[in-house]
Amino acid sequence: MDKLVSKLNMKKIRKDFPILGRKISGKKLVYLDNAATTQKPKAVIDALDEYYEQRNSNVHRGVHTLAEEATEAYEESRKKLARFINADRREIIFTRGTTEAINLVKFSLGFEKGDEIVTTVMEHHSNIVPWLMLKKKGIAVKFVDVNEDGLLEEEQYDDLITEKTKLVTVAHVSNVLGTINDVKKIAGIAHDSGALCLVDAAQSVPHMPVDVKQLQCDFLALSGHKMLGPTGSGALYGKKQLLEEMEPFQGGGEMIKTVSTEKATWNDLPWKFEAGTPNIADSIVLGAAVDYLQKAGMKNIREHEKDLTKYALSRLSEVKGLTIYGPEAGDRGGVVSFNLGDIHAHDLASVLNDDGIAVRSGHHCAMPLHTRLGIVATARASFYLYNTPAEIDKLVASLKRARKVFRL
């Protein structure tokens, strides 16, 4: 761990995040809720201030200096994000995050009665609820199960996918189990049957190198706030040919080419799917977050989290009565969900908070998975590039204290 921490220059990285200097209940903050949202480096915070102080203007609609500067920054951010996942800039649609990106596909892909959608029980609600909403239109939704190790029962795809399957959708990384799914393989299975593949990459793009061409997916959704960027920012990647064939998500200004009292024609990609005034500031600042991640190095971040997760699983095994969910360290992202005895996850999280440790508790917007596991809730620690082994040690010490508090 020391070599990896040194490689990432952890001392400098932690100084870049002002909030890490906070104290909670008189104790230094240990932030382990990164799967919910990540903290922001000073460079990202400054980029937001700089936009509003220097170039606040609407985009694509003016020839004055501020408008031109805002438009240039907005489109440059799109290019940065496109390069980050190896896409064409025209294939990047700015959205408010993963949820809106998935809903864009739901509304625009053109589902018809009799179509089928195959998803999994480990999905976040944002990759389940939109599809369930289509059931009233006569569209079937099928679910791939997980095994006891938290891995997908991949052989079920052969039975669930039929000639009626229009879309196969899957999380790249589970936000509860940390399972890293073989998206390239699943996309191949979908394509062999004539179906499309959508990937929920909210928990992968921020934490590891992601190449949409290598994954061979048709759509990929991501959230900016989970990758050091602002809340309300994100994007949908879609293959250019598919996006050109799809109908617009919303109607209004900017997404049009011509309008008369009889009809309207649509703008070119990507603006065809960005109706109205977009979230200009946060989309621009997302580019600053991409800059920060690239400077740190996505391979470095992935290796750091792999080692940190391995260390966490080893240390957590020392806590008597602790149940950990998900696969082995080498097969998972930096997410560890657990329960301690019969303590409710919310009560456990409250005790940890008294020690300045922030973890998530509940069903993590994954109720079908928790039902499948036979539990109501879990506590979840999730790591990022600024977390350290010393923080894992504090988590373990706090869990041991919780055993005494609840007399386990």
What are the tens digits of pLDDT across the range 351-368?
Answer: 999 999 999 999 999 999
pLDDT value at 1 more than 60: no
To the nearest 5 percent, what fractions of the chain are helix, strand and coil? 45, 20, 40
Question: What average pLDDT does the chain have?
Answer: 96
Same-domain pairing of 281 and 354 = no
Confidence class for position 331, pLDDT limits 50, 70, 90: confident
Phi and psi torsions of 180, nearest 5°: -100, 110
The set of long-range contacts for 322-325, using a CB threshold of 8 Å and a minimum separation of 24, is 322/399, 325/150, 325/176, 325/177, 325/373, 325/378
Mean local confidence (pLDDT), 329-348:
94
User: Whose CA is closest to 350, among 312, 391, 406, 408?
Assistant: 406
Same-domain pairing of 106 and 144 = yes
pLDDT value at 344 more than 50: yes
Same-domain pairing of 55 and 26 = no
Q: Which of 266, 295, 324 is at the close of a domain?
A: 295
* Whole-number pLDDT of residue 7: 79
CA–CA gap between residue 307 and residue 303 (Å, rounded): 6
Same-domain pairing of 92 and 171 = yes
Does residue 36 lie in a domain region?
A: no
Same-domain pairing of 289 and 302 = no
pLDDT value at 6 more than 60: no
Q: Which residue has the tokens 């009233």?
A: 136
Who contacts 251 (Cβ-Cβ below 8 Å, separation ≥6)? 264, 275
Does residue 317 lie in a domain region?
A: yes
* Whole-number pLDDT of residue 263: 96
Q: Which residue has the tokens 């977050």?
A: 289
Q: Which residue has the tokens 């052969």?
A: 158
Q: What is the CATH number of the domain that holds 374?
A: 3.90.1150.10
Q: How many domains does the chain have?
A: 2
Confidence class for position 150, pLDDT limits 50, 70, 90: very high
* Whole-number pLDDT of residue 408: 78
In percent, the amount of the chain with pLDDT more than 90 equals 96
Tell me the pairing of strands 234-238 and 219-223: antiparallel
Q: Check the CA dihedral 120-154-194-173 and report its sign.
A: positive
pTM of the shown model: 0.96
**Half-sphere exposure of 183 toward its Cβ, with a 13 Å CA cutoff?**
27
Peptide bond into 206 cis (omega under 30): no
Marked catalytic residue, from 43, 67, 365, 375: 365
Does residue 59 lie in a domain region?
A: yes
User: Whose CA is closest to 31, among 296, 384, 338, 397?
Assistant: 384
- Identify the weakest region by mean pLDDT among 37-41, 58-62, 183-187: 58-62
Mean local confidence (pLDDT), 109-125:
98
Give the pLDDT confidence of 62-78 residue by residue, as tens digits. Answer: 899 999 999 999 999 99
Same-domain pairing of 176 and 116 = yes
Mean local confidence (pLDDT), 230-259:
96
Contact status, residue 137 vs residue 143, Cβ threshold 8 Å? no
Cross-strand pairs, 197: 168
Tell me the pairing of strands 256-259 and 234-238: unpaired
* Whole-number pLDDT of residue 383: 98
Q: Which of 247, 264, 295 is at the close of a domain?
A: 295
pLDDT value at 5 more than 60: no
* Whole-number pLDDT of residue 192: 97
Q: Tell me which residue range forms the domain holding 400.
A: 2-31+297-405
pLDDT value at 335 more than 50: yes
Mean local confidence (pLDDT), 209-229:
98
pLDDT value at 328 more than 90: no
User: Has 365 been annotated as catalytic?
Assistant: yes
* Whole-number pLDDT of residue 239: 98
pLDDT value at 3 more than 60: no
CA–CA gap between residue 306 and residue 18 (Å, rounded): 25
pLDDT value at 4 more than 90: no
Give the pLDDT confidence of 282-321 residue by residue, as tens digits. Answer: 999 999 999 999 999 999 999 999 999 999 999 999 999 9
Q: What is the CATH number of the domain that holds 259?
A: 3.40.640.10
Q: Which of 295, 313, 341 is at the close of a domain?
A: 295
3-class secondary structure, 332: strand
* Whole-number pLDDT of residue 152: 97
The continuous run of DSSP H or E covering 338 comes out as strand 335-340
Mean local confidence (pLDDT), 140-153:
97
Same-domain pairing of 140 and 251 = yes
Longest distance between any two alpha carbons in the chain, whole Å = 73
